Amino acid sequence: MNKKVALVTGSSRGIGRAIALEFANQGYNLVINYKQNQAQAEEVLEQAKSAGAQGIIVQADVSDSKAAQELVDRSVEEFGKLDVLVNNAGINKDQLILRMSDDEWTKVIDTNLSAAFYCSRAALKTMIRKRYGRIINISSVVGLSGNAGQTHYSAAKSGLLGLSFSIAREYGNRGINANVVAPGYIQSDMTAELSSEQSARIMSGISAGRLGTPEDVAAVVAFLASPGADYINAQVIRVDGGMNL
């Protein structure tokens, strides 16, 4: 009962998976959320249990307001509280703006931005009562700079900054911090599909000389959830290896 509880949306793979397992290694109990792949979510839970964590798996499409509320409710029912919310769920459908359909725009905005709003609103209700909470939104460096072919994605990731800053202003005096992590190019299924020319161009702009790993991002998220970050609020931390310095 004394363990803190973390809910990570979209935690069956990639960055979300790494974040969930980092929390497990640090002694948190977990709510693992997935939309489609139950088998992957079960693998994450098994690894978390091996690290000594307790956890549950909850299927939910967090771009749906009702489903997001039910996800948070299920978390509180299971563990009696919710200390940390990481809004990580996201999709992308690259397209130039003049070719972008209304449906492509809406799906990316709903999953990457509206979902974070729905989950945060639901989580705040219980965090305010406890006068403690950490909300960490996973944005992207393209949310800070924009990117050709990613108008919807960039807009959603930029919107997470305004969402976080507003939460911090409204509830910072009630023990609730809202911060943003903005990853750069991270090893993933998407970056694995890059051509050698694309990879070389990207690497030339990264002073660290390598792509990031999901674990690089997870370490920063875990720090923002820790007591060491109690006085950090409404901040954006880039995890990009020093891109384009």
Q: Which amino acid is present at 174?
A: R
Got the DSSP string for 166-182?
HHHHHHGGGTEEEEEEE
- Out of 132, 153, 171, 185, which one is annotated catalytic? 153
**Integer CA distances (angstroms), 96 to 102, 103, 238, in order:** 12, 14, 25
- Residue 138's Cβ-side half-sphere holds a number of Cα atoms within 13 Å equal to 31
* Residue 77 contacts residue 53 (beta carbons within 8 Å): no
28 has catalytic annotation: no
Which single residue is written with the structure tokens 């009962």?
Answer: 1
Which single residue is written with the structure tokens 């509830």?
Answer: 171
Alpha-carbon dihedral 25, 235, 132, 135, rounded to 10 degrees: -60
Residues 204, 115: Cα–Cα separation, whole Å:
34
Which single residue is written with the structure tokens 């509280």?
Answer: 81
Residues 77, 100: Cα–Cα separation, whole Å:
41
Residues identified as active-site: 153
